[in-house]
Structure 1
Amino acid sequence: MYVDSRTADQSRYNLQKGIDTIIENLNEGKSVMAGVMYDSKKTVQEKDYANKSTNHYVTIVGMGRDDQGVYFSYYDNYSNGKGESVGTDLKNNKFRLLTDSKGNYYFADADNNIPLNGNQNVELGNKENKPARYILTEVRDNE
């Protein structure tokens, strides 16, 4: 779904197929394993792993629409010592469709409130070098 060009990634970028896979699985009552990138400088080191942009995995468990548009909500088992309430905080844990400066579409939880920082607002480019967003990099069909 997203490829960081700096990783010389060999996977195929197919946003629509990823969206369709998520929606089909959720409509069948199935959750969806999804890869995310939270650090563009950290890449997967395994040589046989196709999408080196993926740093972490979350589970997409729902979808909806609010005043900011459509979203996919997710659970994250990594909560930085904050416990289950952060990893399952569906109010904050949402992927939304965004557009970069070149007009490319991608999904991200870009509100600076991700489970890796305990859902405490951390601005991008922060001095503490804490992750501030997740970018959805891959989706795995739950057959």
Structure 2
Amino acid sequence: MEKPVVPEQLASRIARLAESAPRRIIFKLKSDTALDVKRILGNFKEVVQRIYSEKSYRILWFRCKDGSITVAIAGTRPVIAHVELFLAHGRMSGLFESGSIVYEGMGAKSFQAHVERQLRQYVTTQVEHSFGGTNP
């Protein structure tokens, strides 16, 4: 299968997420209405800071052609463990309609393979990335 063309900035962010971190997770968010990713992830960051006083994590996200958002996080065990609570709370509070975990683990190579699989499924000519802008 042909490997997707990934903008250099996005590829470097993926590589940084694959660097040493205790745990990694990838999840998808979906909704019938437009997803406000800055609000959604801002909520996640605020809660993680308030509950765990953690700043030791990295986040990458990209918007998919089906309107969903794929989010990858590398960080400490409490931050990764919080994702399931975040997904449940986000559904209940209406931040998004559904959220599902695609990958959770420790291996850097396995993590990269799962991110690449997500990119293969969803990258389009107009993908918004976590570093801002789009890939025309």
Q: Same fold (TM over 0.5)?
A: no
Normalising TM by the smaller chain, what interval? under 0.3
TM normalised by structure 1 equals: 0.25
Q: Choose between structure 1 and 2: higher helix proportion.
A: 2
TM normalised by structure 2 equals: 0.26
Instruction: Give the number of the structure with larger relative contact order, counting CA–CA contacts within 8 Å between residues 6 or more apart.
Output: 2
